[in-house]
Structure 1
């Protein structure tokens, strides 16, 4: 299936925080009109339920790929999760890919659910795939839990792609072993992207898989100049600062950045005791201060900023670093329109000329 002009490009629906999930319907339609290949849907425990969003995006479109990136295996019973994915798969006519991630350990502690381990993810994926292919799962006792009997429909033979959201080496290696596609993290340097791709491919090869069979999506924060200044600050500075609030150590380790810079961020008087996420409540003055005085410039440079042509060339950098596809992260389809237009202008000169030929719209397939 290849129904979009740019199957190598993706975007997120309801990028960031949203109190109006109905906006997703128009966003999905516009993304499809622009030719963007896939729309990814993240989950937040307020007004962004993965199943509801996937159903809305599927119903609003006819050729757009839809991917959950991501939900967590530990927040739903495996039979419920498998049913959500199977429903979206059939409703979309095969345009849907199911994505899992590790989530936030501190949040899971507060919720009273177990933290996520690699063994649990691998075990859960095995359960889902068995169910999707019509098997009954009886007497299961594994890392994902104890389940006396799970069954969907013995007539099922559904090949639903599984994506894994990954940052650290252990998760990248897991993805290479078991996933159909990998969604990397925002604010990875080009060097880190290349290293991550190599880790995934190497793990796939060691597992006896074709390394090229795993589709790798880079995630490029894309903040083009026509976006108003306050929104640009929120989408770039605010988003990076929020990541650093939540799991800065993981991102710094992945990029091999200096831990001293992270400690300087954490110890800054503005950051200590800040009452919320910077991308949600940060003021222009606070975000400007973080940009100019606290966050290292090379951290923020792991993104696509500037005019549309500059952003499009940063997309090309992602492919040169080894990515199969690129998610333009943090902006709505309307905000991405100039970048997509600029990409359309430079794409014909990319070599080899058939680089993206035959790339499926489904974001989990190669």
Structure 2
């Protein structure tokens, strides 16, 4: 099992301490989000590359709405050179970064075009994007593309074009199995070898002796994940009937101004007041002792998951990283092979 952590670049001393701890813990990778709430991910990842020697580094995730494909390719190519080939490009349709600029997320066709352009530019050639030719003066080779996906369309797209998919919609077996099926359908439609796309999942994790103690560590990331998951569940009709109106109210009233912010986050208070806490915990979180967390990851491995991305953004994030290394990695291991077949 590949275990990665998503670390907030909220201050370089603390950020680099956590990055180094992740490498020392034997984790597979570190991701940094591309959101206005934190420092620039490419600068942060460059600092991380200089401070480490083994661990994988990448965006988790960026987008092609606020970042032109030429800027994406140049940034990730530089990171790959600086890190000695350890970079990956995690990319999605765009969420908080697009929202804060008054922009909409990428449509699937736009996301497909953006990724194709980035890959052409990685190869040092000319890319076609937005009806114009874009050139690159660097030749990196193909940096792995990890496509964040939640809905059936984006999951199938990942199966068609990605090296790895990052599934964010939930850790329950029904969601994961359904998502993997959509990815495999995309592989088949594109004529790719079955199983050629790696499967990662976002697992909001807390290692704690009780549910209540663990909840304190994941409640903010649940507020962010809930905004995504509830929108998808409403669209698919999956939300239990008694929770449909509360779920709709949460999505309508979600505050992007407090997207992932620590402290007294009003989005947390909102989902709690709407009676959504238990549903979000069951759908999105892994909470327990190190042994219990490892067992939960093992069950995900049994249905085809190869990696978990753990948001490590709470106040106890350093402790979480260290405990993943001490208590979970020895039980499930962490992969070191390439992201690309």
Report the TM-score when normalising by structure 2.
0.85
- Deviation per CA, 1:236-289, whole angstroms, max 9, x where unpaired? 333323443566312555692325414225558xx9587954853664999589
Q: Does 1:221 align with 2:212?
A: no
Counterpart in 1 of 2:340? 365
The alignment partner of 1:280 has SS state of: coil
Counterpart in 2 of 1:73? 64
In the aligned structure 2, how far is the partner of 1:256 from the partner of 1:109?
A: 26
In the aligned structure 2, how far is the partner of 1:293 from the partner of 1:78?
A: 40
User: Is the CA contact 2:145–2:162 (under 8 Å) kept in the aligned structure 1?
Assistant: yes
Which is further off, 258-267 or 61-70?
A: 258-267
- Deviation per CA, 1:61-113, whole angstroms, max 9, x where unpaired? 10001121211112123222211111111111111111211123x86366244
Q: Does 1:191 align with 2:174?
A: yes
Counterpart in 2 of 1:90? 81
Pick one of 10, 18, 21 that aligns with 2:4: 10
Counterpart in 1 of 2:149? 166
In the aligned structure 2, how far is the partner of 1:228 from the partner of 1:195?
A: 27
Distance 1:92 1:262, change over 3 A: farther
User: Is the CA contact 1:237–1:290 (under 8 Å) kept in the aligned structure 2?
Assistant: no
Counterpart in 2 of 1:53? 44
After TM superposition, what 4+ stretches of structure 1 lie above 4 angstroms from structure 2?
226-230, 251-255, 265-268, 271-276, 281-293
In the aligned structure 2, how far is the partner of 1:118 from the partner of 1:161?
A: 19
User: Is the CA contact 2:89–2:145 (under 8 Å) kept in the aligned structure 1?
Assistant: yes
The alignment partner of 1:301 has SS state of: helix
User: Is the CA contact 1:103–1:116 (under 8 Å) kept in the aligned structure 2?
Assistant: yes
Pick one of 113, 118, 129 that aligns with 1:123: 113
Counterpart in 1 of 2:282? 301
Q: Does 1:341 align with 2:326?
A: yes
Distance 1:48 1:317, change over 3 A: farther
RMSD, aligned α-carbons: 3.3
In the aligned structure 2, how far is the partner of 1:266 from the partner of 1:257?
A: 10
- Deviation per CA, 1:195-217, whole angstroms, max 9, x where unpaired? 11121122112211123221111
Q: Where does structure 1 lack aligned partners over 5 or more consecutive residues?
A: 1-6, 349-355
Which is further off, 331-340 or 187-196?
A: 331-340
Report the TM-score when normalising by structure 1.
0.80
Which is further off, 69-78 or 30-39?
A: 69-78
- Deviation per CA, 1:26-84, whole angstroms, max 9, x where unpaired? 11111010100111111111433221122122111100011212111121232222111
User: Is the CA contact 1:41–1:69 (under 8 Å) kept in the aligned structure 2?
Assistant: yes
Aligned length: 336
Pick one of 21, 24, 30 that aligns with 1:30: 21
The alignment partner of 2:175 has SS state of: helix
Pick one of 147, 150, 153 that aligns with 2:134: 150
User: Is the CA contact 1:181–1:215 (under 8 Å) kept in the aligned structure 2?
Assistant: yes
User: Is the CA contact 2:206–2:286 (under 8 Å) kept in the aligned structure 1?
Assistant: yes
Distance 1:73 1:267, change over 3 A: closer
The alignment partner of 1:10 has SS state of: strand
User: Is the CA contact 1:9–1:325 (under 8 Å) kept in the aligned structure 2?
Assistant: yes
Pick one of 60, 64, 68 that aligns with 2:55: 64
In the aligned structure 1, how far is the partner of 2:63 from the partner of 2:143?
A: 17
The alignment partner of 1:44 has SS state of: coil
Q: Does 1:111 align with 2:111?
A: no
